[in-house]
Amino acid sequence: MTFQRRDFLKIGSAGLAAGLVNSGLSAAQTAAPAVKGALESATGSLHLEGRLKSGLLQIEMQDFSQGLDTMVIGNGRCNSRKFYNAMFNHNRDHTVFVILADENHSTTLVLSNSDVSEIGRLTVWHDSGAPQNFRIKKLAFMENDAIVDEKGTRIDLVGKRKPLDFTSRELEEVFGNDPALLKFRHGVPIVHNNSPEMQLSSWFCALISATLGQIISIKWEAS
């Protein structure tokens, strides 16, 4: 797997460097006496280790937040198998970008709302394959334990990956009361609110939580 945490950091560093260069050029052109700048953000890190039905799970996770944007990067190992998850959440669930990867293959998801409040948009591609676009019923995207589009067509969220056999519910049962996780979540416990209003606003997380073998839902769980 070639896309790791360092790639996110390289992208961020490149953007920051470009911004500083542009600021300097602008200041020189306007003959400003000085340039001032400040990078304000919040970060956190988490290490968890616990035994699931499928084996011993070890998690290393970091989050980065600024304003309404949040990025979560997670590396995991279960027995001898390694995997990688990442999520970028723009403007508090306006658009969500997710990567689910094992050591050889990856699945990329982009989730966003549409102009119809009950319908969401989902784009999926596996490895470097062509993207597929779907419309999702926010209140009814599960059918026979599978994620489906508005026409009932099953959506493949696995591709060539071999996801580990654990669910978000099992993660919550094992790690939900861990003080380190609570601190990582800024003191907010994991709760579930199944009201239609909440389901419409939190369908992104509910869909990811329904995906087998991912860990980012313990930071950003279905409400």
Render pLDDT for 161-187 as a digit per residue (tens, 0 to 9).
999 999 999 999 999 999 999 999 988
Q: How far apart are CA 143 and CA 41, in angstroms?
A: 40
**pLDDT confidence of residue 32:** 53
Cβ atoms of 222 and 205 closer than 8 Å: yes
Whether 19 and 73 map to the same domain: the answer is: no
Lowest mean pLDDT among 6-20, 64-78, 152-166: 6-20
- Average of per-residue pLDDT across 86-90: 95
Cβ atoms of 89 and 71 closer than 8 Å: yes
In which residue are the tokens 């950091």 written?
A: 9
Cβ atoms of 74 and 216 closer than 8 Å: yes
Quick check: is 223 in a domain?
A: no
Whether 63 and 133 map to the same domain: the answer is: yes
Q: Is the pLDDT of residue 43 over 90?
A: no
**pLDDT confidence of residue 191:** 80
Whether 8 and 51 map to the same domain: the answer is: no
Number of structural domains, the chain?
Answer: 2
Quick check: is 133 in a domain?
A: yes
Q: Is the pLDDT of residue 27 over 60?
A: no
**pLDDT confidence of residue 92:** 84
Please name which of 102, 144, 146, 109 lies closest in space to residue 125, comparing C-alpha atoms.
Answer: 109
**pLDDT confidence of residue 221:** 58
Whether 33 and 45 map to the same domain: the answer is: no
Q: What is the span of the domain harbouring residue 178?
A: 41-218
Collapsed DSSP state (helix, strand, coil) of residue 204? helix
User: In the chain, at which residue ranges do the beta strands (DSSP E only) sit?
Assistant: 42-52, 55-66, 69-78, 81-90, 95-102, 106-113, 119-126, 132-137, 142-143, 146-147
Quick check: is 90 in a domain?
A: yes
Beta bridge partners of 89: 70, 96
Whether 13 and 108 map to the same domain: the answer is: no
Whether 87 and 194 map to the same domain: the answer is: yes
In which residue are the tokens 């119809």 written?
A: 116
pTM metric for this prediction: 0.77
